[in-house]
Structure 1
Amino acid sequence: MIGKIKKGSGFKGCVNYVLGKEQAVLLHADGVLTESRGDIIRSFCMQTGMNPDLKKPVGHIALSYSAVDAPKLTDGKMVQLAQEYMREMKITDTQYIIVRHQDREHPHVHIVFNRIDNNGKTISDRNDMYRNEQVCKKLKAKHGLYFAGGKEQVKQHR
């Protein structure tokens, strides 16, 4: 399990990317209307009005798993892992969508969330890269997910 975190200024491009991929599946949503992509985008944008000073309100996290774990990663399990990841990262009380992509051999989901919570406060990104690494390790161990070897193993296969 690897988490890649990005921040952005506009929800339209991010939502269109995650939902526009062939075979993209919206697995779960909270706090947004889901009738159409436009509804999702408008829902996110409305909440940004609660804190107009935040220049990058878009949170985008890709959670990727080893192909070895694919058989146990049902849609439900991926939602569970994504929500647990978000709680551990202190991404709570905000709008989000979880979208599964199936365009690679390794299973992965995209989490798009509003960095402005439901009370208009900014969700902190302080030390998020370090916390991301720790949370991924914790969840891999807790759920019995594949741990890749170190660089030594990579060199052996060359």
Structure 2
Amino acid sequence: MIGKGKAIAHTAVAMEYGWNQEKDATVVLKQHLVGENPKEISNEFKIIQRMNTKCEKNTISFVLSPTIEDGKKLTDKWLGEIAKEFIKEMKLTDHQAIAFVHKDKEHIHIHLYVNRIDFNGKAYADNFIGKRASLHAEKIARAMGLKTVKDVQNEKSQRLKHIRAEIKKIHDTVLRLEKPRSFEEYITKMKIKEVKVIPSINKANKLQGFRFEYRGVNLKGSEVHRSMSGGKIGAELALNVPKYMEKASVNTVNILGKGLEMSANLVASIAKSAVKKVILKGIDIGA
């Protein structure tokens, strides 16, 4: 679950947005309030806010977002409990508050509006409000058995690690068994194995490398593995066809039926990597 928070000045507008029936809004919590519509709630806030006219941003807006999976399991009652616990953790139990749940999208989330001014006319400190909201949302998520931001990040990291490994394995297999002789052939062979290789074109309209798209993930070659930069892929192709580097010297390659000029950096990188591979290959043969 993600928690965000900030102080705002437009209370009435916020209430209208929170209560928006086009977003399938449901009120799941009211605290120290009796109003039945946005205007009535806004007026109740204003009565207390008049006790502190120096505070301009006198309402605090929070958004609490469970993961899509958790959101599907949570009832309005549980969502109300989340808002209630959050208010308690933020030490806002003595402030007017109202929470709405929006269900117009797959990602169910809570909009919580709290009067920054308490019944004594004192303004709630909003320093680091976003950070505090995030920390307390994480604490509540753990207590309720919901996924935290860190949980989601770890899952994404593990999935990305797996995707990188799969792309690298396919790349190695194509180079080792298929032995493509050009970028175009390499791209075609990778596509057969469900990896889309996308030419990366710089502002000068020159080829500078490649991106790889696989199972909904799009990564630069160097993000997949350090051996998958444009220069290093080009060097591998050069080993398959010795004359390849001579053709590359004109700085133009054919990709998907279109002639593309390579950037100076890519040409230099291919040459450097190719020379290194030839030397290493010679050492291996000598050994």
Distance across 2 between alignment mates of 1:135 and 1:8: 20
Distance across 2 between alignment mates of 1:21 and 1:42: 20
Confirm whether residue 5 of structure 1 aligns to residue 10 of structure 2.
no
Alignment match, 2:43: 42
Contact 1:89 1:128 (8 Å CA) reproduced: no
Alignment match, 1:145: 146
Return the offset for 1:126. 2.2
Closer, same or farther in 2 for the Cα pair 1:119/1:154, shift >3 Å? farther
Moved more, 132-141 or 146-155: 146-155
Q: Which runs of 5+ in 1 are unaligned?
A: none
Contact 2:4 2:64 (8 Å CA) reproduced: yes
- Count of aligned positions: 158
Deviations 1:62-89 (A, max 9, x none): 1111111134311111111111111112
Alignment match, 1:104: 105
Q: Which runs of 4+ in 1 moved over 3 A?
A: 153-157
Distance across 2 between alignment mates of 1:75 and 1:115: 25
Distance across 2 between alignment mates of 1:109 and 1:128: 17
Alignment match, 1:83: 84
Closer, same or farther in 2 for the Cα pair 1:133/1:28, shift >3 Å? closer
Deviations 1:71-129 (A, max 9, x none): 43111111111111111122220111111100111221110110001221111112222
Distance across 2 between alignment mates of 1:20 and 1:71: 21
One-letter identity of the residue aligned with 1:152: S
Return the offset for 1:131. 1.8
Alignment match, 1:52: 53
Contact 2:2 2:65 (8 Å CA) reproduced: yes
Closer, same or farther in 2 for the Cα pair 1:71/1:20, shift >3 Å? closer
Counterparts of residues 55-70 of structure 1 (less than 5 Å): 55-70=56-71
One-letter identity of the residue aligned with 1:148: V
Contact 1:32 1:39 (8 Å CA) reproduced: no
Moved more, 47-56 or 86-95: 86-95
Return the offset for 1:153. 4.1
RMSD over equivalenced CA pairs, Å: 1.7
Closer, same or farther in 2 for the Cα pair 1:154/1:17, shift >3 Å? farther
SS in 1 for 2:152: coil
Larger RCO, structure (CA 8 Å, separation 6 or more): 1
One-letter identity of the residue aligned with 2:153: G
Distance across 1 between alignment mates of 2:82 and 2:128: 21
Confirm whether residue 20 of structure 1 aligns to residue 14 of structure 2.
no
Q: Which has the higher helix share?
A: 2
SS in 1 for 2:95: coil
Distance across 2 between alignment mates of 1:32 and 1:154: 45
Distance across 1 between alignment mates of 2:145 and 2:90: 20
Contact 2:6 2:130 (8 Å CA) reproduced: no
Q: Which runs of 5+ in 2 are unaligned?
A: 164-215, 218-287
SS in 2 for 1:6: strand
Alignment match, 2:134: 133
SS in 1 for 2:111: strand
* TM-score calculated relative to the size of structure 1: 0.91
Deviations 1:38-60 (A, max 9, x none): 11111111110011110100111
Give % identity.
Answer: 32
